[in-house]
A and B are shown apart, each in its own frame.
Chain A
Amino acid sequence: MTPVPVLLDCDPGHDDAIALVMAHRSPAIDLLGVTIVCGNATLDRTTVNALRILEFIGATEVRVAAGCVSPLARELVLGTADGPSGLEGSPYLPEPKTKLDPRHAVEFLADHLRGATAPVTILATGPLTNIGFLLLKYPGLKPKIARIVLMGGAMYRRTEYITPTEFNIFCDPEAARVVLDSGLDVTMVGLDVTMHVIVEEPQFAELRKIDTPLGKVVLDWLKFYEKLHRGQMGVGGALHDPLALAVVIDPTLITTRDAHVAVDLTGSFTFGATVADYWNERGLGTNVHVASTVDSDRFFDMLYALLRD
């Protein structure tokens, strides 16, 4: 099987870090490059984190370009799930020596798309600022994009997690709207499914068996990551971004429903909410495949296999 060409836009971030590792290790993925956005931490930190991770796994051939330092139209509100550096828990990772690509992430993405011989999948695991900017600036490149898989959103309804908003969309709702309204094939991997791929004791037990430097660092990330999740939501760490990456490798891990999803930009408590119109009451058709169920066991099998090999 030919590997899927992928451009990964991320804001590492513990779960981004794991997604990045998986993307590099999966034979099903041809990782064309990595672009960085602010979100889980400021851009300088998320950028350094990406370089540290890639250097640690010996993936210095992967080009990295830094992008937007703030959301499209708002002040940056940092995420809280990953600690101040965005990647707490692994202080022993080396300071990176690899050089950043000199281009802005948007130019880096545009150049890759222009040069692509087959349409490219864009995987976005952070706020959608870079991708929204790309679509605002170069709408002519849309035919070069096979699909966009994004980690973000939560269906606006009462769930056990009682939150109307998900961070990546909340952080840059204007950019999210640009992406959702782009007419491209968009798959939204939101909290509805990612909160079902949670690392609890059985998963920790499996991960401990991977007795390699990579296994150790992933475990350390997840231990830190779990602490914040446990304190805030009473559950272990949810592997949001790795699931989005896994969906690129194997779309059958999730089931989706098509709907028109709008992003609320103005609500006092709900700005950033992703509001799905499953009944087409607004008469706008559909603009996104919304992930609604996930096969958690198969996801974790894929994760263990990719970390082990």
Chain B
Amino acid sequence: MERIILDVDGAGDDILAILFALGAPGIALEGVTALTGAAGSVEQVTRVVLNTLTLARRDDVPVAAGAWRPIVGNDAKDMEAPVHFEKRLRTRFGDRLAGFNPPAPEPVRPPMARHAVDFIIDTIRSAPGEISVVATGPQTNVAMALRQAPDIAGLVKQFVVLGGCFRTPGNVTPVSEYNIWADPEAARIVLRSGAPVILVPLDICEDNRVAPSMLTRDDLADLAAGPRGPVIDHVIETFPIYIDIWREFFELVGFPLDDAIAVASVIRPDLFTMTQPYFVDVALSERLVRGQTVVHRGRQILDFGGPVTTRICEDLDGRGFMALFKGALQAVDKGRTQ
């Protein structure tokens, strides 16, 4: 069993990551922590997490709310860019957007009173060498945990960081991916912590080279034809618009499942091609390159010295992942009735 904490910032694919983590074989989900990110405030994200767990009848999974802002962040105007982007979507997709990232209804239970940072610290300390933290949004919660309790770097099994890009162009600047860009100082703290890190970049999530890993209407048809339950029904109902947006707007083959892919890297590393460990750093300076992930490969004249601890995912068996993903969703529905 891989014991994981899932740290999420969003709506769409984060829901699928939670469901995936609940249903995939070999995972013990210790808890879900939330933070402010691409899809809204930490309050909204926390509600989405709680509602998703209720849908899966897994109200036993602890949920803790965390960071409400990045450590430093970016210019207010730049931070609002995703909001303007949603306006552009609205113009283009009109009424079809009704089910996209809707306001979450009031959950049936509250999150735990403890801060996400404390939950992360206490969970890691209680099981040295066993906990993997999979953070699929900005790294703020994880970085704050490392700052408050530096000892957890030596106690965690690994940090999985979803973010960055090397071959695939960035989605905020030409070289920066959103999660890293949104809190570059936090990402840097995690990558420099000395703990083992698996980095899951855009290259193996939002690039048509890994098209078989993306959710398509064919996959929804497969799910519809198989055993049904409230979880599968919810996915079939909610995700067509996501697939349309990512096909028509981003010109990807389907809806990329970045967050679930990050979770899969813990239980099924065999589906991934990962590099040997490298020192990976984050550029902090200029607007143009802020948030760029820089891997120290080869030989250079200047020495930048940093921990050689990060394995970068370079390729993914998309078909294998999609089969695992669909099976996990079905398993959640099956578990619901037991």
Contact = CB atoms under 8 A, between A and B. Distances in A.
Interface of A: 68-70, 72-73, 104, 106, 133, 136-139, 174, 177-178, 265-266
A104 B185 CA distance: 22
A199 B150 CA distance: 39
Contacts of A174: 71-72, 185
A177 B75 CA distance: 13
B279 interface: no
B262 to A, nearest CB: 24
A133 B148 contact: yes
Interface in B145-201: 147-150, 185-186, 188-189
Contacts of B69: 136, 139
B185 A138 contact: no
Contact of A136 (B67, B189, B284, B286): B67
B285 A68 contact: no
B100 interface: no
- Interface band, chain B: 10 to 19
Contact of A177 (B72, B115, B186, B286): B72
A270 B39 CA distance: 35
Interface of B: 67-69, 71-72, 115, 117, 144, 147-150, 185-186, 188-189, 284-286
Contacts of B186: 73
Nearest to B286: A266
Nearest to A263: B72
A265 B148 CA distance: 22
Contact of B117 (A68, A137, A265): A137
B148 A73 contact: no
A136 B144 contact: yes
B13 to A, nearest CB: 26
A137 B71 CA distance: 10
Contacts of A68: 147-148
Contact of A137 (B144, B149, B189): B144
B67 A73 contact: no
B258 to A, nearest CB: 25
14 contacts: A69-B150, A72-B71, A72-B185, A73-B189, A104-B148, A133-B144, A136-B144, A137-B117, A138-B115, A139-B68, A139-B69, A174-B71, A177-B72, A265-B72
Contacts of B185: 72-73, 174
A134 to B, nearest CB: 11
Contacts of B68: 136, 139
Nearest to A105: B148
